[in-house]
């Protein structure tokens, strides 16, 4: 991979996004970390990364992010749509405001970023977009809210739409669909006391490794992944088979 390649990771300040940022940086990318939270400590540690305060719900903010990254790095080649809002709540208790809030970040933010960066990638004749989906979007969700599951299902459909549109112009668009990971977010949703029993309910008997998910993302983001587009790569421990 060329040392000149630049990757943007939304929601990259912490959690799975941080794992993805670290993986891409280790692979030689210069990384732009876009988040509503402050990512300056992470980017200072990595050295060749830069932090951008971005709310993916706002198209103007994503357009400005693209302009800033191109100005700061000289170009951009990879977009990882990882920014997400998670809320576990009984289905019939989800309010319209909560539905709108989750969809605005997870689906609308991803769709808009695909438009904004996809147009730029198409114009330059090369690009890689990786969207973070979820097992919840495939099996309807078991531990997460129905609005979260619905947003992730929509992301998988959007991945196919953008993949078909952009493929002739050198741009691939794929999704990665993790099952439950060994992460602070999953631990807070499941609860530490129930974690062992929950892991035992997974066919492989364990939670997933976020660092491995990051490696999957990096593989799809690489120039060598030119023949893979419109795909959804699963890593769910056997909870969903197709």
Q: Catalytic positions, please? A: 148
Specify whether the CB–CB gap between 3 and 76 falls below 8 A.
no
- DSSP character for 79? E
E strand or H helix at 175: strand 171-178
> Which pairing describes strands 78-81 and 232-235: parallel, antiparallel, or unpaired?
unpaired
Contacts of 189 (CB under 8 A, 6+ apart): 86, 88, 143, 144
- The 127-132 sheet, strands edge to edge: 50-53, 30-35, 6-10, 78-81, 127-132, 171-178, 232-235
Residue the block writes with tokens 């990384």: 31
Q: What's the angle, vertex CA 17, arms to CA 12 and CA 18, rounded to 5? A: 80
H-only helix segments in 107-227:
109-124, 136-139, 146-166, 184-190, 195-200, 210-221
Q: Which of 79, 77, 42, 74 is nearest to 62 (CA)?
A: 79
Beta bridge pairs of residue 197: none
d(CA 44, CA 26): 15
């Amino acid at each position: 991979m060329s040392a000149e390649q630049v990757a943007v990771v939304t929601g990259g300040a912490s959690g799975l996004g941080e794992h993805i940022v670290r993986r891409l940086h280790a692979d030689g990318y210069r990384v732009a970390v876009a988040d509503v939270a402050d990512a300056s400590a992470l980017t200072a540690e990595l050295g060749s990364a830069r932090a951008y305060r971005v709310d993916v719900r706002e198209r103007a903010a994503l357009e400005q992010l693209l302009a800033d990254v191109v100005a700061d790095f000289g170009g951009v080649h990879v977009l990882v749509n990882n920014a997400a809002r998670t809320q576990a709540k009984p289905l019939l208790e989800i309010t319209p405001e909560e539905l709108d809030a989750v969809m605005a970040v997870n689906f609308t933010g991803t769709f808009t970023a695909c438009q904004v960066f996809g147009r730029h990638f198409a114009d330059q004749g090369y690009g890689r977009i990786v969207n973070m989906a979820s097992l919840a979007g495939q099996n309807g969700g078991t531990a997460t809210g129905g609005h979260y599951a619905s947003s992730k299902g929509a992301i998988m459909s959007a991945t196919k739409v953008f993949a078909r549109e952009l493929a002739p112009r050198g741009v691939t668009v794929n999704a990665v669909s993790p099952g439950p990971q060994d992460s602070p977010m999953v631990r807070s949703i499941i609860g530490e006391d129930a974690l062992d029993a929950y892991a035992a309910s997974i066919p492989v008997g364990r939670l997933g490794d976020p660092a491995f998910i990051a490696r999957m993302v990096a593989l799809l983001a690489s120039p060598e992944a030119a023949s893979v587009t419109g795909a959804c790569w699963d890593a769910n421990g056997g909870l969903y088979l197709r």
